[in-house]
Amino acid sequence: MNRILIDTNVILYTYDYRDQLRKNRAAEVLLVLEKYKLGIFTIQTLSEFMNVVTKVRNPIIEKSDFQLQLHYWINLFPIIQLTQNIVVEATRCVIDHNFSYYDAQIWAAAKLNQIPVIFSEDFQDGQTLEGVHFVNPFSEKFDINQWC
């Protein structure tokens, strides 16, 4: 079984009560990845998650739960740290493939850590770039059983 890098949007949808279908799908995906020990986060994913949930005007979770929720995600899956090699490879991806920098950084983390799949809705579903395959877990054709 291959490991799967999980992008921030998958985590965030578990808190989205406005879109029950995505909320349910995100929860299902994370439960299966946890069960089979397939999921991996990046430090970027956790940072982006905290940036969104701590927004002053419309926090997604209560302020008193910020650290509790962060520790939950930290303990759920292994975490890839940001390295200078990831930054350099991400910059190359921006130049060579016209990715936005933060999308390129997610891709670079997967590539340099030999993680062949990224679950995210932010990339072209089904695209493969230099050995890293992008999968949108919120597409209608997605089947979690295909990945475990």
Q: Is 82 within the bounds of a domain?
A: yes
Question: What is the pLDDT, as a whole number, of residue 65?
Answer: 87
Question: What is the pLDDT, as a whole number, of residue 75?
Answer: 95
Tokens of 65: 């739960």
Tokens of 32: 């299966």
Bridge-based pairing state of the strands 4-6 and 117-119 = parallel
Count the alpha carbons within 13 Å of 144 in the hemisphere toward its beta carbon.
Answer: 17
Bridge-based pairing state of the strands 39-42 and 4-6 = parallel
Q: Is 52 within the bounds of a domain?
A: yes
- Sign of the dihedral defined by the CA atoms of residues 56, 13, 65, 71, in that order: negative
Q: Is 148 within the bounds of a domain?
A: no
Q: Identify the segments of the chain with pLDDT beneath 70.
A: 1, 56
Q: What CATH number corresponds to the domain at position 106? A: 3.40.50.1010
Question: What is the pLDDT, as a whole number, of residue 16?
Answer: 84
Q: Is 114 within the bounds of a domain?
A: yes
Radius of gyration of the chain (CA): 15
3-class DSSP state for residue 66? helix
Q: Is 147 within the bounds of a domain?
A: no
Number of domains comprising the chain: 1
Report the predicted TM-score, pTM, of the whole model to 2 decimal places. Answer: 0.94
Q: Is 101 within the bounds of a domain?
A: yes
Question: What is the pLDDT, as a whole number, of residue 36?
Answer: 95
Q: Is 99 within the bounds of a domain?
A: yes
What type of residue is 127? Q
Boundaries of domain holding 102: 4-138
Q: Is 32 within the bounds of a domain?
A: yes
